[in-house]
Amino acid sequence: MRIGGFAGDLLTFVPFILVAVAALGAIVWFVAGDRGGMWSKVTAWLGLVTLTLWIGSAVAFVALHGLLFLVGPDAALGGLVFTTLFMALMPFGWAFVVARRHAPAPPPAAPATPAKHA
């Protein structure tokens, strides 16, 4: 298998997969997400992950080409490893953020009763 053919296939299918994930997230949000609960967490996570993948891919594309042409192939390889780790760990980071953001609030404190003076 040629790398060029694989990269071309990847560049063709990844945007379609991300659009499908975004569409699925929008459908789930409009069906069940606006009522709160678990589905609101799932759709928030799905939207954040999809958006970060789109923007992260665009930034990584420009940054990696900049590293390749300005610094050299070794720096581009390091940037590629960093980008791959970031993209692989990013869904877990967003899951942590969404879980913390949607954690139930502690109950309000009872109002203090005034002391009775004798």
- Name the residue ranges covered by the structural domains of the chain: 7-101
Task: Specify the pLDDT at position 1.
Answer: 44
Task: Specify the pLDDT at position 38.
Answer: 74
Report pTM. 0.60
pLDDT in tens, the chain (118 residues): 455 565 666 667 777 777 777 777 777 766 665 566 777 787 778 888 888 888 888 888 889 889 889 998 898 889 989 999 999 999 999 889 888 876 566 667 666 666 666 5
Listed in sequence order, the residues at least 6 apart from 43 whose beta carbon sits closer than 8 Å to its beta carbon are 25, 28, 29, 33
